[in-house]
Structure 1
């Protein structure tokens, strides 16, 4: 079966970021997932907009940009297999960075309203998502720190 013909269920259950989650947890994720396409240069989300979910990049590249006074600074570049977006976890549920496709990109998108409901109903589901997203946050902060050090040296 080609990558194009895989079902949402197969894409979600086979994604490394979600490895180790229970069948019931994966069922929730499958139920709120959809596949999205972004063209090169297209904005995925902007700083301050409502954080309405998270993405798992299937193909392509997405830049995470910090909005500066003069120009955006790319904090990180994500590619196939990478998760994108953790701001949906914390109030006020607003994106902290801009994200834009650097090339044609395909991603799975997971609806935050569904995820928030289930994390409240099922504490283990919430724990699994939070644990995975914390790892993402640490990587992003490390990347931002490295970029900041580079900017300050210039």
Structure 2
């Protein structure tokens, strides 16, 4: 039996908070509250345990350990007091997978119409994986993929199938 192209693992224990606000006005207050720099367009910043991803011109996604969620929600609400803004706990609406190994890019390439050669570290890409919405970015040793929890079983299945040699595109 041929070796798989990459390991696919579902990641538990993460909280995800959507932040919608005028980033030009509220960016400094958000950065101070979160302790992470506001990412550039299509970027993601991280300190190793928490990440802040650019989702649209007025939307960020904060990913952090579940244990830190309540404090982060409180700090974000305080930082955005008086702003036209939304802070929403989206933890139960998302599923996270890590695709790691020497051919992690090939696994994603089988499923997504993205030129991964141009997906630089610190860049977040919103796209699709087969027939479901997904966002992904580089992590040490591979890529992290976020999708909707309602399609988590499907996303896990297609990632695992794409990791098998002989399905779809061959490794580069």
With normalisation by structure 1, the TM-score equals 0.29
More helix by share: 1
Rg (Cα) greater in structure? 2
With normalisation by structure 2, the TM-score equals 0.27
